[in-house]
Amino acid sequence: MQAASSFVVEPVGLVVESLPRPLDFAQLFGNANPVELEIGMGKGTFLMDQAIARPETNFFGIEWANWFYRYASDRMRRHQLKNVHTIRADANFFLREFVTDASLSVLHIYFPDPWPKARQQKRRTVQESFVPVIHRVLKPGGEIRVVTDHKGYWEESIEPTIKGSGLTLIDYARPGTASEGETVGTNFERKYIKEGRPFYSIAARKD
């Protein structure tokens, strides 16, 4: 395992190969503030708005698509945000290898890829096999919040997984940075609102 003092923190965007396993968020951010992690940050709109609005909270964004990762990371850099970091990585791999037990206050998953074809569905992030990961990474009192526009993904996987996770269901609270009529405030959501798509949301807490 790499020594904790050996990794180099790049501005905003991090390189997986340079990080210690596990990752020390307090060392990374330089403080012990709560950490909220978003899986699939896209262009980073939600992450950036939250980081600006809540400087007392640390935010971490994961994105696999290189173009989106680079775009989002550059936005954070240009806004000179000190309480947000991003990484290009597979979310399941990153959570398993780098995120320590009980280290996250909130896990955000908004408009994840639905992988609608039967042969693809094993790639879905929110499914039964993901439940132990949720329990491990969330702090006591920590929350998971999920929103999707895909009815099939919602009915087949997201809703039954979260309801059967052993977590306590709570009301989904619209983030304060979301505009009127928005559920989350992401680029994908704004696009889907124009298309008239319905949204499905759920939130749960680890007691």
What is the structure's pLDDT at 199? 95
What is the structure's pLDDT at 127? 95
The predicted model gives 16-43 an average pLDDT of 95
Contact 152, 114 (CB under 8 A): yes
Give the residue from 202, 60, 61 showing the smallest Cα distance to 145.
Answer: 202
The predicted model gives 34-60 an average pLDDT of 97
Contact 91, 38 (CB under 8 A): no
What is the structure's pLDDT at 2? 40
pLDDT digits (tens, 9 = 90+) for 188-204: 999 999 999 999 999 99
Q: Which residues 6+ apart lie within 8 Å of 23 measured at CB?
A: 98, 99, 100
Strand order in the sheet with 35-39: 13-14, 84-88, 58-63, 35-39, 104-110, 138-148, 200-205, 168-170
What is the structure's pLDDT at 115? 87
Q: Is residue 155 predicted with pLDDT exceeding 90?
A: yes
Give the residue from 205, 180, 17, 192 showing the smallest Cα distance to 111.
Answer: 192
- The half-sphere exposure of 180 on its side-chain side, counting CA atoms within 13 A, is 0
Q: Is residue 9 predicted with pLDDT exceeding 50?
A: no
What is the structure's pLDDT at 79? 94
Number of domains in the chain: 1
Give the residue numbers spanning the domain of 114: 4-205
Q: How far apart are CA 196 and CA 102, in angstroms?
A: 38
Give the residue from 50, 100, 94 showing the smallest Cα distance to 75.
Answer: 50
Look up 171 and say whether it is catalytic.
no
**In which band, very low, low, confident or very high, does the pLDDT at 118 lie, cut at 50, 70 and 90?**
confident
Catalytic residue among 90, 113, 171, 207: 113
**In which band, very low, low, confident or very high, does the pLDDT at 12 lie, cut at 50, 70 and 90?**
low
The fraction of the chain above a pLDDT of 90, given in percent, is 82
What is the structure's pLDDT at 1? 38
The predicted model gives 76-96 an average pLDDT of 95
Q: What is the CATH number of the domain that holds 27?
A: 3.40.50.150
Contact 109, 126 (CB under 8 A): yes
- Mean pLDDT, the chain, integer: 92
pLDDT digits (tens, 9 = 90+) for 130-148: 999 999 999 999 999 999 9
